[in-house]
Amino acid sequence: MKVLVTGGAGFIGSHIVDAMINEGHEVVIADNLSTGQRQNINPKARFYEVNICDPALERVFKLENPQIVCHQAAQTVISRSVSEPIFDANVNILGSLNLISSCLRYGVKKVIYASSGGAVYGEPKYLPVDEKHPVDPLSQYGASKHTVEHYLHLYWLQHGLEYVSLRYPNVCGPRQNPSGEAGVVAIFTSQMLRGERPTIFGKGDKTRDYTYVSDIARANVLAMSAGKIGIYNLGTGVETSDQQIFDMIAQNVGYKEAPDYAPVRKGEIYRICLNFSRAKSEIGWQPLVSLKEGLAQTVAFYKKHS
């Protein structure tokens, strides 16, 4: 099948492109390179440098006529969503609507959407969080990602546009950008390799659900052919604290210093891990790469590219 991947030059998107090409699919990338990198682009994919908010995005649909759209492009920085909510909504909501409109006009069969299991649920009432858990985001980012899920459901009801929304955990692996606030594994690893002291926001006891990027890419590939519509959590169902992540990376790097500690940032939740049972039973997905193995592969990548 022909697949359009938005954000396909980014961290997760580029791994999805690679996985789809390895499965024999024809892949087209739309990315404005605001956070994506040209070196991430698979040479077997066709690339268009375009913003999802730009009306020119329709030209990609007209030229390529994709059957499936895998929508990874987004504003993902939680603190920016809090300080610049209009920018966040313009990219994540209006940009997605611009994309969905072209999907309707050009007969796209299905949209696979990258949502956020770490942001839409808010502070969990129970763990691990399943898809029945109340949605109560603490940030504008979480609200914008969830809003698009509502729109996708409406377009399925009104127009028959199929969709699968994958609620991601914290994703780690090669190619993650260590320059922003998201991607603590990339940030800590790069700082340690430079001999800098990483900062943990909070006391080190905040927890997240860390999943290796190849597992996330495989979920997107499985969602293409799964005859299912709806929302699916991805993750491991295991909590890992900030301090544990710091210690595991430090052991891989050989870093001996203690971290700095700073106040928790606005919009961040305290604990999270995700129940992936629905994804396992309905689309045949489960995580295969352990956190220990994933961190080792990630550190090896940054050592090579530091």
Average pLDDT value for residue range 36-52: 98
For the chain, what percent of residues have pLDDT higher than 90? 96
Average pLDDT value for residue range 28-35: 97
| Length of the chain in terms of residues written | 306
Q: Are strands 199-201 and 170-172 parallel, antiparallel or unpaired?
A: unpaired
Average pLDDT value for residue range 80-104: 98
Q: pLDDT band at residue 181, thresholds of 50, 70 and 90?
A: low
DSSP code string of the chain: -EEEEETTTSHHHHHHHHHHHHTT-EEEEEE--SS--GGGS-TTSEEEE--TTSTTHHHHHHHH--SEEEE------HHHHHH-HHHHHIIIIIHHHHHHHHHHHTT--EEEEEEETTTSS-S-SSSSB-TTSPP--SSHHHHHHHHHHHHHHHHHHHH--EEEEEEE-EEE-TT--TTSSS-HHHHHHHHHHTT---EEESSS--EE-EEEHHHHHHHHHHHHH----EEEE-S-S--EEHHHHHHHHHHHHT--SPPEEEPPPTT--S---B--HHHHHHH-----S-HHHHHHHHHHHHHHH-
Lowest mean pLDDT of 26-30, 107-111, 130-134, 265-269, name the range: 265-269
- Indicate which residues carry an active-site annotation: 141
Average pLDDT value for residue range 31-55: 97
Q: Is the pLDDT of residue 139 over 90?
A: yes
Average pLDDT value for residue range 109-135: 97
pLDDT tens digits, 238-291: 999 999 999 999 999 999 999 999 999 888 999 999 999 999 999 999 999 999
Q: Is the pLDDT of residue 306 over 90?
A: no
* Domains defined for the chain, CATH in brackets: 2-172+210-236+275-288 (3.40.50.720), 184-206+239-271+296-305 (3.90.25.10)
Q: What is the mean pLDDT of the chain?
A: 97
CA distances (Å), 10 to each of 71, 72, 217, 245, 266, in order?
A: 12, 8, 12, 23, 25
Q: pLDDT band at residue 93, thresholds of 50, 70 and 90?
A: very high
Neighbours of 288 (CB within 10 A): 11
